[in-house]
Structure formats: C-alpha cells, structure tokens
Amino acid sequence: MPSSSPLGLHRVLDRPSGMLPQAARRLDASPELQADDEVRIDVEVLHLDAASYRQLSTAHTGSLDRVDGEALRQAVLDIVAERGKMQNPVTGSGGMLIGRVAEVGASSPLGLQVGDEVATLVSLSLTPLHLSDALTRWDGLSATVPAAGHAILFGRSVAAVLPPDLPAEVALMVMDVCGAPALVQRLVDRHRTQTGSAPRVCVLGAAGKSGVLSLAAAGRAGAWHRIAVVRDQAEAGRVAEAGEAERVVVADARDPVTLARAVAEAGGPAELTVVCVDVPGCEQPAILATAEGGTVVFFSMATDFAAAALGAEGVAADVTMIIGNGYAPGHADIALDLVRSRPGVRAAFDARRSTAQTTDP
Amino acid sequence: MPSSSPLGLHRVLDRPSGMLPQAARRLDASPELQADDEVRIDVEVLHLDAASYRQLSTAHTGSLDRVDGEALRQAVLDIVAERGKMQNPVTGSGGMLIGRVAEVGASSPLGLQVGDEVATLVSLSLTPLHLSDALTRWDGLSATVPAAGHAILFGRSVAAVLPPDLPAEVALMVMDVCGAPALVQRLVDRHRTQTGSAPRVCVLGAAGKSGVLSLAAAGRAGAWHRIAVVRDQAEAGRVAEAGEAERVVVADARDPVTLARAVAEAGGPAELTVVCVDVPGCEQPAILATAEGGTVVFFSMATDFAAAALGAEGVAADVTMIIGNGYAPGHADIALDLVRSRPGVRAAFDARRSTAQTTDP
C-alpha cells in the first residue's frame, strides 16, 4: 500500500483499509495536506444534490408541512461532523461545492492556483469536508448552502475554475452536465474518422440541459442532421428557439413503435442516439430508433442496465450501447465554450436561470 | 401501422396495440404464418431460464421440500395456454427452445430451411408458443423440458442451426453466451485499426463460459497480452488449462485497490476490460483496473448502471463503458468457430458438460 493515493485512500478512516472514499463511512478532513497531490479549498457554498435535499427536507418537515430549516441545518452539520464529508446516509449522494483555492500540493495535477475560485466536479460524497461556521447564513430552505470551512481535493479529483465571463449560476448549470457534450463530440468525431461521413444524431429529452448541450456539441463536431425529440409543444418551442436541431419532434420516448416512426419521419434513424430523458423505460425505444450498426449513449440515471442489454438482444439490434461517463478530459471547457460561442445555447441557459429565479421562492 | 412487423407487433393481442411482444401479456400463437417473414418451428425441447425455473420450483414445493413436478408441469402449461408464450409472470424471463423448421415465409431473412434443427437465440418471453402434448415426457424436475408443439419466429428473431459436428449440449452452452466473444472480437479489431497496436485485454470472471470465450476471441483477434482474473485457485487451474491467457491471477473483483494492483502486477492495466463476474459491485473496480482512454465492457447482468456511471466520474476515469449486447451479426458462428478451432476452449466446455452431468441428478 502506498502511504498516499491519488484516489484519497489515505483519508479513509474505516478499517480494514482499501475502501474508496465514496464507499467509506468516515473520512479524515484535517486541513493539513497529507499528500503532495492534494489541494485545500476554502469553502464558500455547498450545492446539495436534488435527491439528497429532497430526502432531508421530507425528513425534517414541521408544522403546516413546512420544512423545519433549523432541524435541517443541524442534520447537515451532524452528517459532516460524523462522516468528514457531506454524504447523505439515506441517498448516498452529495452534491458539489464552490470555494477558493487555499493551498496546492507540489505535485497536484489539477492545474489550480492559490486564489482561484473553483467548482468541484467530483461529488461531495467523496470529498473531505470540515465546516467552521455552523452554517449560520443558511436558512435550510434551499439546496444552496452558504458555508465556511475547508475541503480537500485529491490527485484524481476534478475542479474547474469559474469563468469570469459567465454568471456563476450559468457556469454551474453547464458544468453539472458537461460530460454529455464532451462524449457526444468524441463519438461524432470518431464516426467521421471511421466512416468518412458525418452521422445523423438524435437526442431524446432534447429540452433539458444535457440535451441542448448534446445537440450543440453534435453540431459543432459536424453532425449533418440533428433530430430533437421532446415530450410536448412547449418544449418543442424552446428547443426550436435554441436553433441546434434541424428537426424537432414531439413523441413519447417510452413508446417504441411511436418513437421509431417519429424519428424515421424526421429524417432518421440516426447513427447516434443520445438518451437524456430522466424517466424509466426508454431503453428499448432508443435502441429501435437507432440505425443498425449505430450507437446509443445513455446519460439518464433512470437507465436500467438489464433493460438495455436484453432490449437490444430481444430485437436483434446491432447497436453499441454506451454508459454515459460524467468525466472526460477537458469536459468543462468544451461545454462552457459551447455556451459562449452558440447564442441559442446561451439564451436557453439564461432562460432556465430566470425561470428558476421566478419559481424558486 | 403496417399490417405485419418484423418485430412481431401483429401477434400482440393486448389492446391498445403498439406494445412489443416481450412486454405484452398475450400473444397470438396460431400456427399459420401471418407475415411473409415468419418461420414456424416444430418444438422439441424448451430450456427454461435459470431464474424462471428457480421461481417455479420454489413456488411448487411439496412434502419433504421436494419439487412437486406435477404441479410445476401444470403451471408451465397454464402460462403457455394463457399467454401464448412461456414467459414466467414473476421473473419476466423465458429461456430458449430447440426444434425443427416446419415452414419458412418467402421473405424470411433468417436463412433457415425446412427440416433444419435450430436453437432460438431470442427469449421465449417474446416467442409465440403453443404446446400440444401436455408435456407428458417432462417430470418437472429439471429446466430442460421435452415438448411438442409449435413456435413462431419473426423477421428480427435470431435462430442458429445446430452444428452437426458438436454435441448439442456444448453448442447450446456456447450459443447462450455468444454475444460476448463477438463483441470482444469487434472491440479488439477496432482498437487495432484505430491505434495501429494490439491491446492488452483483462477478463474478470474468466473461468465462466463467457469469460473463456472472451479470452479466446481476444486471442484470435490479436490481443497481445491477456490477463485472466478468477476468484480462487481451482478456477485458476481450469483457466490455465484452457491456455487462453498469458497471465492468470486470483483476486476479488469487488475490491478496487486489490484488483487494480493484481492486474498491474500481471502486466496491466489493460486497454480493454471485460466484466463477466456475475456478482454486484464490480463496476468501479473494473474501471480503476483499466488504462486511461481504455474500454470496459459489462456482460454481467448484475451490473448497476448508476454504479458504473458515477463510479467512473467519481475517480475522473476517462474510460468508455459499454453495455454488453447479446446480439451481433454472426455471433453464434463466431463463438462456435472458437470452440472448434481452439482445443483448450473445447476441452473447457467438455469438462463443464461432464461436471453438469455428474452433479445434476
């Protein structure tokens, strides 16, 4: 066993050792760097992930069905004090944080400078964290938590410097899903290299953040025909405004026959189908809507492995099925550049931001 | 809607229409061909899948914890009569069948001739089936069911002619997992074309049927270093005898640190990792044991989609993750040719066959 590890194994307090930080019950969150490749961050804001915040707010509901902010704050403090990380023990999930770089180990590969304002792109569920302010600036009523304290990044952590030219809120929304456009760009590039021709690309759930960015990435990489599938006319209008699809169609992505027909009528089937629909049951429809020899990439966390594997076999579909990886080298820069360079994409994220501000009390 | 469909939509009796045969409650199993691309099979043997037979035998246990064969037989007859297919309503699974081709539609793409003895490689859970013999030759005590009746194949079904030069039992075992070697061969070929060099290949769970065939497929496709990971010395001995790995190592595929170290010491990490271990929790270990920029293909039905997606992101692993597809064009022939041409593989399957005969009363 090495004394330190780019995966952070040396910060795991559970015994026997050898467990990864995400699986561990308790981490050592002491502020001193314990490895040459560690980085310490002064924490400014925690963004709890949606599943975790929903669980906590349901568990701490007071009178009149109102969230008991005080109890919720104490619950978060207790978790962090006990575990040395903000990992919801029920959902297992974490979230991300924003902070400023305080110290950088001599051999850190993350490319950060002291003073950089960064967002962490690996989960809080594996990030050593210590809180020093009792979260007094947080009312417990939203998943955005003003906080003071410190966090530790490892050699294989991922953090992105917040860009000075974009609102932080837009940058965070983009970085949250930046694995999707990076992978779509790579798959379109690969298809062009291998076949000498540009692929058609179909995105299911095209109105969401990852959907719009996937369409834009496909466009920049040279896809020749992009089909956006959405669930209703309101979404269709928004996707059409973004200007990143040659065809926008309304169809139920859970209905195999309807979907395949709708995609075919819109110029499909596509050589690359990107599933961004966050509801179960889209596996076999996506497979059937894809050209023989094509590729389906699943970014929805609602994807069921067996449904995809058996779904392809059951209809003798020769498709390559890929599990969407949230990480790729340079993924944040790729996504942010799409937002900067493609006005329709930027407008879609600005609209989402103002909607969120309107509907979130 | 077309009046007939290569997916068999026209055989679905549920209303509203548009459901795929696998999802349907009832199929029309009448013997007349209802589409130009259908094929009718005279059934000889049903092979219920393991999960289905286990459920049925547990549900029909009589005195002294013995399976009530009579009740089990009646249960299968009732399911087929009610649903027009042998799909266990609890597990949702089916199995496969062996039979002889009785009639071939004029435009069937399956390449079958009347009189061919075939195995169906799509699930019984989507295959129209009618039984005519009350299963009188079956005692209900094993998942192998001598039967008479007929079944219908669609344009997109898959069936393979039983090879005259191999024992039927060996051919069935091979065809049951033939998607794995076909995909491994394709991925090794692709790697060589793209990079100009042969990949290292690591197979987790190398002692199983799909594991041995994956190693053999990698070898034939030109992998330069094959690492077989097994769970104990007995398995290591069997894999070494098959002669399809340059290195055989014993390691727990659920332990990320141990596995990565064991694979590295055996000449890894590999550019292609093939997961054939049928236990949960191997996702992140497999990812960490794979070279950056490499590929992990998951053939285990115990794979959890979220564990793979989040597991890669959590350690910033730039790997392509593929959902193993049980179908690829020519997959049965590819696998059978490996058994014919590589004596160690043939011996491994023969040994498995005699073991099964010894231990199965």
User: CA-CA distance, B93 to B85, in Å (whole number)?
Assistant: 11
What is chain A's percent helix, strand, coil content, to nearest 5?
40, 20, 40
pLDDT at site B360: 35
Q: Is A90 on the interface with B (CB under 8 A)?
A: no
* Dihedral angle over CA of B147, B170, B55, B77, nearest 10: -10
Residue of B nearest to A306 (CA): B301
Q: Determine which of B301, B315, B318 to mutate to test the interface with A (most A C-beta atoms within 10 Å).
A: B315
Count of CB atoms situated within 10 Å of the CB of A255:
16
Q: Would the CA dihedral through B321, B326, B327, B333 be positive or negative?
A: positive
> Is residue A229 helix, strand or coil?
strand
B322:A320 CB<8 A: yes
Q: Is B213 on the interface with A (CB under 8 A)?
A: no
Chain B residues within an 8 Å CB radius of A332: none
Q: Is B126 on the interface with A (CB under 8 A)?
A: yes
Residue A265, pLDDT above cutoff 60: yes
User: CA-CA distance, B183 to B335, in Å (whole number)?
Assistant: 11
The first and second tokens of residue B232, run together, are: 């104990």
pLDDT at site A3: 63
pLDDT at site A169: 87
Q: Is A115 on the interface with B (CB under 8 A)?
A: no
Count of CB atoms situated within 10 Å of the CB of A361:
5
pLDDT at site A2: 45
Residue of A nearest to B325 (CA): A309
What's the N-to-C CA distance of chain A in angstroms?
Answer: 50
pLDDT at site A361: 33
Closest CA to B249 of B228, B218, B273, B224: B228
A316:B158 CB<8 A: yes
Q: Closest to A308 (Cβ–Cβ): which among B7, B323, B327?
A: B323
Task: Decide: A122 and A86 in contact? Cβ < 8 Å.
Answer: no
Chain B residues within an 8 Å CB radius of A321: 322-323, 325
Chain B residues within an 8 Å CB radius of A20: 256-257, 284, 314-315
Residue of A nearest to B295 (CA): A322
User: CA-CA distance, A108 to A4, in Å (whole number)?
Assistant: 13
Q: Angle formed by the axes of helices B331-341 and B179-195, to 10°?
A: 90
> For every residue of A142-171, which 3-state class applies, written as one string?
CCEEEEEEEEEECCCCCEEECCCCCCHHHH
Task: Decide: A166 and A237 in contact? Cβ < 8 Å.
Answer: no
pLDDT in single tens digits along all 361 residues of chain B: 346 889 999 999 998 777 889 889 999 999 999 999 999 999 999 999 888 898 999 999 877 778 899 999 999 999 999 999 999 999 888 999 999 999 999 999 999 999 999 999 989 999 999 999 999 999 999 999 999 999 999 999 999 999 999 998 899 889 989 999 999 999 999 999 989 999 999 999 999 999 999 999 999 999 999 999 999 999 999 999 999 999 999 999 999 999 999 999 999 999 999 999 988 889 999 999 999 999 999 998 889 998 899 889 989 999 999 999 999 999 999 999 999 999 999 999 999 887 654 433 3
Q: Is B307 on the interface with A (CB under 8 A)?
A: no
B310:A326 CB<8 A: yes
pLDDT at site A184: 98
Residue of B nearest to A95 (CA): B314
The first and second tokens of residue A291, run together, are: 């050209």
Q: Angle formed by the axes of helices B209-221 and B168-176, to 10°?
A: 80
Chain A residues within an 8 Å CB radius of B123: 310, 313-314
Q: What is the ipTM of this complex?
A: 0.89
The band of A66, judged by pLDDT with boundaries at 50, 70 and 90, is: confident
Cβ-Cβ contacts under 8 Å for A97 (sequence gap 6 or more): A41, A43, A44, A45, A46, A47, A119, A120, A124, A127, A129, A147, A151
Residue of B nearest to A120 (CA): B314
Q: Determine which of A305, A319, A322 to mutate to test the interface with B (most B C-beta atoms within 10 Å).
A: A305
User: CA-CA distance, B94 to B184, in Å (whole number)?
Assistant: 26
Percent of residues, chain A, with pLDDT higher than 70: 97
Mean pLDDT of A14-29: 89
Q: Is A36 on the interface with B (CB under 8 A)?
A: no
B157:A301 CB<8 A: no
Q: Per mean pLDDT, which range of A187-196, A227-236, A306-315, B2-11 is the poorest? A: B2-11
pLDDT at site A355: 66
* Residue with the larger pLDDT of the pair A355 and A26: A26
Residue of B nearest to A177 (CA): B313
pTM of the model: 0.90
Q: Which of residues 321-360 of A touch B (CB under 8 A)?
A: 321-329
pLDDT at site A360: 35
Q: Is A14 on the interface with B (CB under 8 A)?
A: no
User: CA-CA distance, B324 to B326, in Å (whole number)?
Assistant: 6
Q: Closest to A321 (Cβ–Cβ): which among B312, B314, B323?
A: B323
Residue of A nearest to B299 (CA): A309
Strand partners, A145: A46
Q: Determine which of A4, A17, A87, A313 to mutate to test the interface with B (most B C-beta atoms within 10 Å).
A: A313
User: CA-CA distance, A14 to A186, in Å (whole number)?
Assistant: 39
How many Å lie between the alpha carbon of B241 and the closest alpha carbon of chain A? Answer: 31
Q: What is the pLDDT of residues A127-161, one digit of tens each?
A: 999 999 999 999 999 999 999 999 999 999 999 99
Q: Is B136 on the interface with A (CB under 8 A)?
A: no
Q: What is the mean pLDDT of chain A?
A: 93
The band of A51, judged by pLDDT with boundaries at 50, 70 and 90, is: confident
pLDDT at site B359: 39
A301:B322 CB<8 A: no
What is chain B's percent helix, strand, coil content, to nearest 5?
40, 20, 40
Residue type for B202, please? C
Residue of A nearest to B110 (CA): A316
Mean pLDDT of A291-306: 93
Would you call the peptide bond into B269 cis, given omega within 30 degrees of 0 as the criterion? yes
B122:A323 CB<8 A: no
Q: Determine which of A320, A322, A334 to mutate to test the interface with B (most B C-beta atoms within 10 Å).
A: A320
Q: Is B317 on the interface with A (CB under 8 A)?
A: yes
